[in-house]
Amino acid sequence: MTTKKPKSAPRTPMPEQPAALRRTNFSEVALGYDLSMAMAEASRCLQCKKPACVQGCPVEVNIKDFVGHLARGDVVAAFQAIKETNSLPAVCGRVCPQENQCEGSCILGKKGQPVAIGRLERFVADEFAARSACEELTGQPECVVTRDELRAACIGSGPSSLTVAGYLASRGVKVTVYEALHELGGVLTYGIPEFRLPKAVVRREIAALTQSGVTFVTNWVGGKTFTIPELFERGDKAVFIGVGAGLPRFLNIPGESLIGVFSANEYLTRVNLGRAYAFPEYDTPIFPGRRVAVLGGGNVAMDAARTALRLGAEEVRLVYRRSKEEMPARAEELHHAIEEGVILECLCGPVAFLGDERGYLTGMTVQRMCLGEPDESGRCRPCPIEGDTALLPCDLAVVAVGTGPNPVLLSATPGLEKNRRGYVVVNEETGETSIENVFAGGDIVTGSATVILAMGAGRRAAKEIARRLLAHA
């Protein structure tokens, strides 16, 4: 007779705003654990001898230890354990696709539900919202003193650069981060909406980096306001390129310049960076859509669709060429979107945008698809069903079909090797580009990926930069 192992307890649920309420506001959907919930969840952890979860984390957070401390209610020790390797825990706890990372590797997931590592990381980081990061880490009100002769620069202030800056600063390197926009954070600020990642959380993580000696410069555009050789002339010993993949792709179909057709980047930048949801208190306007079509099936498409609902759209459709199963968005995001009322229009490819005589969008012609054989990506290829087209009325369309590498910095940097698709080529071990002491990581190397993968790439490059700088110091 075989004895069945008792199934572990289910994970502690996360309180969240009900769908009917949250679709009327931009406040965060997931509300976070309190201490007793966090301790209950942390005590589900088996404290494995060889924890698989740590290998699943691109920035190698010591998950076993931090969860162990938390299970005993020692939040300070848990914070110190996380901060050793992760400079943005409040961000990671919210936006990482943990199901593919740490939680995907958790042994409990084999028989039941994995430990909610992301939620626990978020809880710990949020507990320190009002405290001084330096004091909690070092017991000193002032953090590590950076050494002026050890200087490095990061171009872009998104997750990869922030990781590099945090790592180097904690080892005494004086880091300057240059950002082209007026606000820091890259995609964390202009891309991911407030209801998934409150901007106050991003600002807090950046404030902690400032405290540890990182200098931030806004409104400086790499390739325009300054060039990479000029950074070396000014005394930087290493440069990290973390400029992301911010060039929007369009569909190149007729009518794409009609009023009411937006790239997801423009739509989300207006709302998130410009706070257009609070127009006219804030000056940046947003185009009001009554019937909205969002084209694409990734996380950016989910963010745009859920944003349109919150801006008062009566009807929001996600128009996607393949079926629901192939959507690249996180299951949780898709689930949230459907809960809030987003309508899925799958197996449906846009053919043309239609407009009125004044140039305003009135609808789209779409081609119905069926699924064929799997293509190179392993996903089934969408095939048009001959003659099966339909008219989809809409007054706002958001194109969320991916991005490419922005040419502004790259074209101003001679000698920088790029691949066929225009992304920067790096040594996979060190993150170094074809130019000595110039490193790169994140979406400008891989194309659009995730926050945590960008941070992993930043960490890899930062280790090499620190090794070189400190070897000569």
- Site residues for another protein per CB under 8 A: 180-182, 190, 217-221, 224-226, 246-248, 250, 252, 256-257, 259-260, 262-263, 265-266, 269-270, 274-275, 279-287, 358-359, 406-408
Residue whose CB is less far from another protein, 298 or 405:
405
Q: What angle do CA 134, 136, 140 make, to 5 degrees?
A: 55
288 phi and psi, to 5 degrees?
-75, 130
Q: Closest approach of Cβ 229 to another protein, in Å?
A: 14
464 phi and psi, to 5 degrees?
-70, -40
- Close Cβ partners of 124 (under 8 Å, ≥ 6 residues apart): 38, 66, 70, 75, 78, 79, 82, 89, 93
Q: Closest approach of Cβ 53 to another protein, in Å?
A: 35
Q: Beta-strand (E) ranges in 109-254?
A: 147-155, 173-178, 215-217, 238-241, 247-248
Q: Closest approach of Cβ 98 to another protein, in Å?
A: 28
Residue whose CB is less far from another protein, 227 or 446:
227
The closest alpha carbon to 206, from 45, 88, 328, belongs to 88
Residue whose CB is less far from another protein, 270 or 330:
270
Residue whose CB is less far from another protein, 100 or 284:
284
Q: Is 65 helix (H, G, I), strand (E, B) or coil?
A: helix
Residue whose CB is less far from another protein, 93 or 255:
255
Structure-derived torsion over alpha carbons of residues 251, 255, 257, 258, reported in degrees to the nearest 10: -130
Q: Which residues pair with 424 in a beta bridge?
A: 418
Q: How far is CA 72 from CA 24, 37, 120, 121, 433, in A?
A: 39, 12, 13, 15, 45
Residue whose CB is less far from another protein, 131 or 234:
234
Q: Closest approach of Cβ 284 to another protein, in Å?
A: 4
Cβ–Cβ contacts within 10 Å for residue 39, how many?
19
Residue whose CB is less far from another protein, 85 or 406:
406
